[in-house]
Chain A
Amino acid sequence: MNGELTAKTGIKDTIPTLSGYIGVGLAFGIVAKAAGLNVVMIILMSAITYSGAAQFVIVSMLVAGSSFFAIILSVFLLSARMLLMGMTVAPYMKKESMLKNIIIGSLLTDETFALSMNKLNATGRVLSFKWLNSANLIAYLTWVISSGIGGALGGLIPNPNLFGLDFAFLAMFIGLLYLQVIADKTMKFKLQLAVIVITLGLTYVGLIFIPSNLLLIVVTLAGGGFGVFIKDAFF
């Protein structure tokens, strides 16, 4: 990843992450089709709701016959981390117009967020609308198209998990986390490592009593809080 912030580098930088969207998008389409959604509904959900983890939850709750408000509440809790990611990225878009800010916000995902955090290390802590918007757009289109294809393939593939496709996002987070840790010079390595170990502990303890849809946001809030605390105390 170099320091250039053009639309073209935005596309180039996003290409390595696309396998994640394709893998999980296909898996989502296949799973949703098997649950009884048709291809149109699958494409609509990917295009409108546009949230990997939340979409899997929505499908399982639809199958379970959950109420409208129960589904909305779950999606809200699961996606509340977007607030924190948005607040982290938004300062780098402050000089852009309100419309451009809304466009960037509308299509920001876990992965393009993580990618832009990696990019900051190569650009001397700046981002551009062009770069992030093309990254967002490519990611969005890839997600919608691959989930549609997954839905169309649906009946043909009995057990999509056998291919390991569902691991694509996990692999991507491992990669992005590692790249972030080695590239971010604004934070000491030992501090980053300490925060990651604390996050592991928080996740483990949290799994015991925090419902899965709440867990990510609670762990993120607590992990960030611990980070500030140990930075002040030990670093």
Chain B
Amino acid sequence: MPSFKFILLVIIGCGLVTWILRVIPFVLLKKFELPRSFVQFLSFVPIVIMAALWFNGLFVQHLGHLPTINFPNLLASIPTAIAAVISKNLLVIVAVGIVSLALIRILI
């Protein structure tokens, strides 16, 4: 592990990067309007990002080769999705997800 000073520098540098990426849209859009076509593009961003974050967890990457399936995560997604449809309650969905994956890891 590198020195404390180096780690602190990394933390602050990365903090600046994430902060700038977070704040720029709010500063710019306060002054400017987005073109209509771009607003239409942005209307798809929520579902695409949420879906992409989920699907990313269902595979294991092997650069240059086909990804393999992350079976524990895929299996745990099934009761989690069912819990979503039945309960429509985030707390229940997350609890079912965590317990499902824990059970799958114990059993497999």
Residues on A with C-beta less than 8 A from B53 are 110, 169-170, 173, 216
Complex: how many Å from CA A81 to CA B18?
Answer: 10
CB interface residues, A 62-81, toward B, < 8 Å: 62-63, 65, 68, 71-72, 75-76, 79-81
State whether A220 touches B14 (Cβ < 8 A): no
Q: Does A176 lie at the interface of the complex (its beta carbon under 8 Å from any beta carbon of B)?
A: yes
* Complex: A78 Cα to B64 Cα, angstroms: 20
Partner of A196, one of B21, B42, B51, B102: B51
* Interface residue stretch chosen among A3-11, A143-151, A202-210: A202-210
Instruction: Name the residue of chain B whose CB is nearest to the CB of A108.
Output: B22
CB distance from A165 to the nearest CB of B (A): 6
Nearest Cβ on chain A to B89's Cβ, whole angstroms: 7
Q: From residue A60, how far is it (CB to closest CB) to chain B in Å?
A: 12
For A203, what are the chain B residues with a Cβ–Cβ distance below 8 Å? Answer: 52, 55-56, 59
* Known A23-B98, A82-B21; contact A177-B55, beta-carbon cutoff 8 A: no
B43 to chain A, nearest CB (A): 7
B95: chain A residues at CB < 8 Å are: 19
User: In the complex, which residues of chain A have a beta carbon less than 8 angstroms from the beta carbon of B24?
Assistant: 83, 86, 105
B42-71 residues at the A interface, CB under 8 angstroms: 42-57, 59, 61, 63-67
* Contact between chains at A200 and B105 (CB < 8 Å): no
Please determine whether A165 and B98 come into contact, CB atoms closer than 8 angstroms: yes
Alpha-carbon gap, A182 to B87, bound state (A): 13
- CB < 8 Å neighbour of B37 from A15, A211, A228: A228
Q: How far, in angstroms, from A143 to B52 measured CA to CA in the complex?
A: 22
- Judge if A29 is at the interface, Cβ distance under 8 Å: no
Instruction: Tell me the smallest distance from the CB of A20 to a CB of chain B, in Å.
Output: 6
Query: Taking beta carbons and an 8 Å cutoff, which residues of B are in contact with A?
Result: 1-2, 4, 6-15, 17-19, 21-30, 34, 37, 39-57, 59, 61, 63-67, 73, 76-77, 80-81, 83-85, 88-91, 93-106
A-B pairs with beta carbons under 8 Å apart, 23 shown: A35-B1, A41-B8, A44-B8, A48-B12, A79-B18, A81-B49, A86-B23, A87-B34, A88-B42, A90-B28, A102-B23, A113-B49, A164-B97, A167-B101, A174-B77, A175-B80, A179-B90, A180-B50, A195-B44, A200-B55, A204-B55, A224-B42, A227-B48
